[in-house]
Structures are given as structure tokens and as C-alpha cells.
Amino acid sequence: MATETYTFLKNIIGRNIYNELKRDAKQYIPVATVVLIVVLVLTYFFHWKILSWILNLITGTSLIFIAYIIGIVLLLDFGVNVKMTRSWDGSYKMPNSKPFKYHLTKFWEIILVVLAIAAIYFSNKYRRHYAFECETFLVDENSGIYHLEEGNDDEECNYTTKMKGYEIEELGYSFCESCKDWVEEAEEVYESERYSRR
């Protein structure tokens, strides 16, 4: 009797696609992991716009990161041995009553998916925060308020110096209200444009 390593996921998407994807994951995930670690370590020490741009490209809700996370899930997906049954044409197929261990793979996969969603959520937060840290602001040291540098149409905006987000963070200054409104409006316009293009 033939046995094959199976998981719930493998049974759903089919053994050929599953094996192919897993082979690709084994090839690309180690390299991608090294790149990701290098970028994350660099963001810890430096505040460069180019790094923020790369981070936006490879983490959070970007397709590259989602593909990466799917690859990780596939690599961590553990199979159990299932005794195949022979069908009328001589090919092997999954038995109708599956072993108990096989059902456990489903629970492990649910845990992996939850962790995957958490990874996307937190890396998204991180890349947004890092983008703020790299941004240059106009800072009024007397009032402890900082303004946008780009897109700021406030004529009476007074400032004493320019600082990057990570420098302001340590000072506990607050963001200018009218600049905040401007950002929110700009984001709304961006969102509505994005949706209207569909």
C-alpha cells in the first residue's frame, strides 16, 4: 500500500500545485528572508527615504510580502502520512475516512494563517511608522508644533528649524492641526481616486 505525506491544504489545492509551490518556496524564501532581515536591520540604524521606499515595496500589504508570507506558510506546513487507496484506474487517491492526525494539520494551518495576518498587519504598521521617521518637518521649537514640509499651503507657518520624524519623536512635539487636516484630505482624495479608477 502506498503512503503519501498529506496536509489539509495540500488536499484542497491539489498535490501537483502544492508540491510545485513548496519547491519554489524552498528556493526563494531563504534569499528573501536574508534581504528582509538586512533591510529591517538598516531601518533600525538609519532613516533614509530610499529605505522607506524599499520597505513599502517589500512589507505590509504589498503583493511581494503577501507572496513571501504564503511561501513561509507553505514551508511551515507539516504533512502526515496517509495510506492512499487505489482507485479503479490504478491511480492512488485520498481515502474517504482520513486519519485523525490529518485533521490536526487543519488546526496548525489555521494558526499559521492567523500568524500570517498578524505579520502583514504589524509590518504594515512598522513601514508607516518608519515613513514618518524619514519625513522632514518644519518645526516651531517655541510652541512645540511641527508642520509638513511638502504640500504645506499654510502661509503663516512659522518654524525655527527643520527636523526628521525620528528626531521629533523624542521631543514629544505635536503635529499642527491644519497640516493634519491637509494630510487627511489628501489621503481621502488619494483613496477616492484609487477607487474611482477601478
Residue 119 CB coordination number (10 Å): 18
Under 8 Å between Cβ of 92 and 4: yes
Between 4 and 140, whose beta carbon lies closer to Zn ion? 140
Residue 95 CB coordination number (10 Å): 12
Minimum separation from the CB atom of position 65 to Zn ion (A)? 33
Distance CA 106, CA 111 (A): 9
Q: Which of residues 30-89 bind Zn ion (CB under 5 A)?
A: none
Applying CB under 5 A, the span of 37-45, 79-87, 107-115, 178-186 interacting with Zn ion comes to 178-186
Chain residue at closest Cβ approach to Zn ion: 176
Q: Which of residues 116-155 bind Zn ion (CB under 5 A)?
A: 147, 154
Between 20 and 181, whose beta carbon lies closer to Zn ion? 181
Q: CA torsion 111→112→114→118, rounded to 10°?
A: 140
Helix (H) or strand (E) holding 181: helix 177-196
Minimum separation from the CB atom of position 181 to Zn ion (A)? 9
Between 29 and 145, whose beta carbon lies closer to Zn ion? 145
Distance CA 48, CA 111 (A): 35
Minimum separation from the CB atom of position 179 to Zn ion (A)? 3
Cα 88 to chain centroid, rounded = 46
Minimum separation from the CB atom of position 44 to Zn ion (A)? 30
Residues at the contact surface with Zn ion, assessed by CB under 5 A:
147, 154, 176, 179
